[in-house]
Structures are given as C-alpha cells and as structure tokens.
C-alpha cells in the first residue's frame, strides 16, 4: 500500500481496515475512496454526514515576537480583514506574492489566547512552501508553531450537527466560520463550523494520540461514513470552490480566480497588501481572463488541462478542474476564459481527445451551498 517514503496520518491503519484505496497525495498515503465508491460517498455527504481525514493539511499557530497582533503583520501578504478578527472567528484568506498572485488559500482563526494568537490551516501540497514564505518574510517578527502532533477531521453534511451534538450539545450554537474549544470524548479539541464541501459541518483538530478513538466514536453513528479524496474533490467542485495549485497558482490574481470575496472592503480602500497595485487595477477595469464555470453540453467530462476554444475553434483558455458532479448529475468544470467570454451562457467548445465538444459558460455554484450562517438580527 505505502512504499515507505509516504507520510501517514494517524488514521492510516483505520483507512486500510475500512478498505480505503490508498494513493499518494501531497507526500502522504491518503484514501481516494472506500468500498462505497466516489459516487455514493459524495451523495452520502450531501444527504447525511461524511467523515474526512484532512490531517495532511498544515496546522500552525502564528504569534508575534513582541506581543503585538500577528494579524497586522500577516495582512501584508493576506488581503482579508484579519486584524479585526475576534476570538473564535475565522476567515478564508489568500497568501499573496509581490505580483498579486495566489501562492495558496488558507483559513485563519483568532484563538482565545490573550496575545491574539492565530490558528492557520493551509493546503497539504503547499504547506512547506507557505511556511517557508512566511518564515522568510516575517523573520524576527512572527513565529510559526507547527502543530504536527494534531490530526484534523472534517465532518460534513446535513447530519453533521446532530452527530457532533451527540458528543457535545454546545456545537449546535456555533455558526458558519466560528471556532472554539470543545471537549469531545474527554479530549479538548479545536472545533470550527467550516469545511470545503458546500455542506454544513465541522472541522475538528484533535491531538494525534486521541485521534482514532474520536473517529471511531463518530463512525459508530449510523449516518457517518468515511469519505475519500475523490468525493472531497467532486463535492468542492460542485459548489464552485477553488483548488489551490489547480484553479490558481502564483501567477493568478484573486480577481482572475474570482475570489474577490476574500478581499476585505477596508483592505481594498487602503491597498496595503502585496500585489495590491495589480489587484486593485484588475478590480477597477476587469481582469484579462477570469475563472468561470463551464457546463459541457454533452455527457463527456472535461478534465483539468482540456483546452477551451471559441466557436471558430481558436484556443482561448484551459479547464483547471473538471469532472462529473454526482449531485448535479452531469459533467461540470472550472476554467479560464478571456473577458469577452465570461458572460453566463456564452457558447464555447472543449477539445476533448482531439474533438470539439460544445459547452457553455455557467455561473457557480453548480449545487447550492448549505452553510449554517449567522442570522443577522
């Protein structure tokens, strides 16, 4: 299963015992699917509750060396309003380079520590790079404490709340993008109401030595199944969420990637973040190219790398994520097109195995997100 050079999460043995098909992913041996299969795992998550091992992702505390708010420094390279984050609140943000390109996307949470310590979760494939970029830029100012002794579980789906409330009733009071310490099975965990499937749910950071017991307890609930990386990918694609390193990289700006919601209003006004000149310029006049939803007219899936052509057959862009949406019930994709082609309903063509297939530019999400947002009174 593993060739010995791959890292294992604390759940490796549980995945193998559950029949998980282990594949190399970002240096780890991870389950791409279980005997249920990607299609049923995907549907199960949308209908009940899926349990995902995301321990390969990077977890870190970020503190300042002089006791000041670490978020103030981070805002130099992250365009979200981080300094205003109150304890227990989290935000999706971006790690930008000096040209305004997206090195990675990440979640940043304000902990309850008095010095305003931040807790960050970054993508597995980018974590070494992210840590190096931060340590280089903020040497002497910020300190990263890598939480390599913690596992990370995501419990996602409409039944996630009921399942987790069975262990800790107070999680019912949490809203989307809130986080707090919760005692689960006698173990203090860091729990957030968040995820990357478009469903309501939680992410649970648990000490590695207690990790398997917690997963076993959650899986004992009849509504919970292990879900692999295959369904994790189709779930996030259906709700139009970008995948770092695929739908954007260090050459793509937040405006091009369509993640302008991650640009704080005040932060735009101040223009005080890396690459802001380019990003604010693109906001003002529109980007040359934009990440859009793509709906193939036929049944053939358009995968990452498939070229996008105009109706004359001239290549105008590329698919960056694509496949079959089990809940949507057909092929769906994301890709970059020039600004003349971004309108919903624009006819385009896809070059699949050398043949042109008709498609249309579509709005995302393809399937509606169902977060438990705070009701504003």
Partner 1 sequence: MLKFTEDHEWLLIEDGIATVGITEHAQTALGDIVFVELPEVGASFIQGDEAAVVESVKAASEVYAPLAGEIIEVNDILVGEPGTVNSSPMDDGWFFKVQISDASEIDTMMDEADYAEFVAGLE
Interface ranges with partner 1 (CB under 8 A): 32-33, 37-40, 42, 230, 234, 299-301, 303, 323-324, 326, 331, 353
- When the beta carbons of 257 and 302 are compared against partner 1, the nearer one is 302
Q: How far is the CB of 81 from partner 1 (least distance, A)?
A: 37
User: What is the maximal distance between C-alpha atoms in the chain?
Assistant: 64
Q: How far is the CB of 246 from partner 1 (least distance, A)?
A: 14
Q: How far is the CB of 27 from partner 1 (least distance, A)?
A: 20
CA dihedral 292→252→250→307, nearest 10 degrees, is 50
Cα separation, 328 vs 312, in Å, equals 29
Helix (H, G, I), strand (E, B) or coil at 186: coil
Q: Residue 240, exposed/middle/buried by CB under 10 A (0-12, 13-18, 19+)?
A: buried
Q: Taking Cα atoms as reference points, which of 71, 118, 114, 89 lies closest to residue 180? A: 89
- When the beta carbons of 38 and 74 are compared against partner 1, the nearer one is 38
- When the beta carbons of 29 and 38 are compared against partner 1, the nearer one is 38
- When the beta carbons of 189 and 227 are compared against partner 1, the nearer one is 227
Question: Do β-strands 315-325 and 201-207 pair in parallel, antiparallel, or remain unpaired?
Answer: unpaired
Q: How far is the CB of 284 from partner 1 (least distance, A)?
A: 40
Cα separation, 21 vs 289, in Å, equals 38
Q: How far is the CB of 303 from partner 1 (least distance, A)?
A: 7
Helix, strand, coil shares, percent, the chain, to 5: 25, 35, 40
Q: How far is the CB of 331 from partner 1 (least distance, A)?
A: 7
Q: How far is the CB of 324 from partner 1 (least distance, A)?
A: 4
Q: How far is the CB of 373 from partner 1 (least distance, A)?
A: 29
Cβ–Cβ < 8 Å for 55, 11: yes
- When the beta carbons of 39 and 342 are compared against partner 1, the nearer one is 39
- When the beta carbons of 127 and 232 are compared against partner 1, the nearer one is 232
Please state, as a whole number, how many other Cβ atoms lie within 10 Å of the Cβ of residue 38.
23
Q: Which residues pair with 182 in a beta bridge?
A: 189
Cβ–Cβ < 8 Å for 273, 75: yes
Q: How far is the CB of 295 from partner 1 (least distance, A)?
A: 14
Q: Taking Cα atoms as reference points, which of 214, 235, 237 lies closest to residue 50? A: 235
Q: Which residues pair with 96 in a beta bridge?
A: 102
- When the beta carbons of 108 and 333 are compared against partner 1, the nearer one is 333
- When the beta carbons of 166 and 298 are compared against partner 1, the nearer one is 298
Q: Taking Cα atoms as reference points, which of 247, 249, 253, 316 lies closest to residue 281? A: 253
Consecutive H or E run containing 39: helix 38-47
Q: Which residues pair with 59 in a beta bridge?
A: 121
- When the beta carbons of 127 and 357 are compared against partner 1, the nearer one is 357
Cα separation, 48 vs 196, in Å, equals 16
């Amino acid at each position: 299963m593993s060739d010995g050079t791959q890292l294992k999460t604390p759940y490796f043995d549980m995945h193998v015992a559950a029949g998980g098909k282990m594949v190399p992913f970002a240096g780890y041996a991870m389950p791409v699917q279980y005997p249920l299969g990607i299609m049923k795992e995907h549907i199960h998550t949308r209908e009940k509750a899926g349990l995902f091992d995301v321990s390969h992702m990077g977890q870190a505390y970020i503190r300042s060396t002089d006791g000041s708010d670490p978020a103030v420094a981070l805002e130099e390279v992250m365009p979200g309003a981080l300094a205003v984050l109150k304890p227990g609140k989290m935000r999706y943000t971006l790690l930008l380079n000096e040209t305004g390109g997206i090195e990675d996307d990440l979640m940043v949470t304000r902990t309850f520590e008095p010095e305003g310590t931040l807790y960050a979760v970054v993508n597995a494939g980018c974590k070494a790079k992210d840590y190096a970029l931060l340590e280089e830029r903020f040497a002497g100012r910020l300190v990263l404490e890598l939480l390599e002794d913690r596992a990370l579980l995501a419990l996602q789906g409409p039944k996630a709340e009921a399942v987790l409330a069975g262990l800790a009733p107070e999680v019912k009071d949490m809203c989307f993008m809130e986080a707090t310490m919760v005692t689960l099975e006698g173990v203090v965990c860091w729990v957030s109401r968040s995820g990357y499937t478009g469903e309501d749910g939680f992410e649970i950071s648990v000490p590695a030595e207690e990790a398997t017991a917690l997963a076993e307890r959650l899986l004992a609930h009849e509504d919970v199944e292990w879900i692999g990386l295959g369904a994790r990918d189709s779930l996030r694609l259906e709700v139009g969420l970008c995948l770092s390193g695929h739908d954007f990289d260090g050459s793509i700006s937040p405006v091009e990637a369509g993640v302008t919601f991650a640009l704080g209003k005040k932060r735009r006004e101040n223009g005080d973040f890396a690459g802001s000149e380019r990003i604010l310029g693109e906001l003002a006049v529109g980007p040359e190219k934009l990440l859009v939803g793509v709906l193939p007219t036929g049944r053939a899936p358009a995968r990452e790398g498939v070229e996008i052509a105009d109706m004359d057959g001239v290549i105008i862009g590329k698919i960056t994520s694509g496949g079959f949406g089990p809940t949507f019930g057909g092929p769906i994709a994301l890709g970059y097109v020039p600004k003349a082609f971004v309108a919903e309903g624009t006819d385009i063509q896809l070059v699949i195995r050398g043949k042109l297939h008709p498609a249309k530019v579509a709005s995302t999400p393809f399937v509606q997100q169902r977060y438990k947002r705070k009701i504003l009174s």
